[in-house]
Structure formats: C-alpha cells, structure tokens
Amino acid sequence: MDQVQAAEVFDDFLIATDDQIEWLIEEAKKHKIALTNSPNTPELLEKSFDIISEELNEEDIEKLIVIFGRYLGEFIRLNYGGKWTLPLKDKKNVNFNTPVITGHSPIEGLEFAPIRVICAYALRRYKGTIRRAIDNHIHPQILDLSLEAAQERHSKN
C-alpha cells in the first residue's frame, strides 16, 4: 500500500470513528455499563471488552479491538489533548501505518497507539493494562540508567 492509499484508509478510519464509538456505548449499556468520559473509563473498557468479546470468534475479536482502540484514542484525545495521526515517514517505526495519538504528552513526538493497547489487553486480560498504558504516556517517568551503570561498575571491582 502506498502513502496515498494509506492516507485514504486512515481518513476512512477517522470517518467511521464516531459511529463505532456510538455502537460501543450502546453495546456496553446492554450490559449495564455506562461508558462515559470519566476517571474510571479504563477499567470500564476492560470490563466491557471482557463481556462483549466473550462469545466472539477470533476475526470478530480483531474487529472489536479496533473499535475499542478508537474509543480509547478518543478518550486520550479529549482528556489529554493531541490528535490522531498516521506515522508513514519511518518504516522501522513500530507504529508505522497504525493510527496513533500524538501531542498528548509532555514528551514531544510520543505516540500513543490505542489499538495496540487494547490488543495487549485482549491477549492477556491483565486488569489495569489500559490504566498503566495511559499513565505511562501521560505521566512518563524518565529512566535514569546512570545509577544502575554505577552499581554495575562497583560490583565488578
């Protein structure tokens, strides 16, 4: 797929987002889950995903992951800022040709890949996966390896 085609697919992705989010909100309501823009949204997304995906086959779960990813991306965009983008410049980028949110974090250029986050949750079903992913992007911790390097040098002596 060339960049023009990828951009067209991305535009279609964005156009379908509102309808798919509305579908997800209604589907969650059927299970007495109110998906609203609230502090407990990450936990409600996990609960909703578990219930809605329960009887689905693998192909339908893949589609559901994208729908939930759209919702999560919009949650990040609306609460923390940023915008949907499609990384197409660097083919080595892990998020190449995958819709991401950028501009949501104090770290310039950080890409939040909501579909990948939902996929990670779907694979393992570890409670708190979505919350941790959000926290890691919104409140990133700078990893200081200098202390570890000093300890390693000291242990060699």
Residue 33 has pLDDT above 70, yes or no: yes
Residue 153 has pLDDT above 80, yes or no: no
The CA-based diameter of the chain, rounded to the nearest angstrom, is: 64
Fold designation for 3-156? Four Helix Bundle (Hemerythrin (Met), subunit A) (1.20.120)
Identify the pLDDT of residue 139: 87
43 compared with 143, residue with greater pLDDT: 43
Q: Parse the chain into domains and list their residue ranges.
A: 3-156
Q: Region 37-53: what's the mean pLDDT?
A: 97
Please identify which residue in the block is written with the tokens 């990384």.
87
DSSP calls for the chain = --HHHHHHHHHHHHHHHHHHHHHHHHHHHTTT----SSTTHHHHHHHHHHHHHTT--HHHHHHHHHHHHHHHHHHHHHHH--EEE---S-TTSTTTTS-EEESSSSSTT--B-HHHHHHHHHHH--TTHHHHHHHHHHSPPPP--HHHHHHHHHHH-
Q: Region 117-127: what's the mean pLDDT?
A: 97
Radius of gyration of the chain (CA): 18
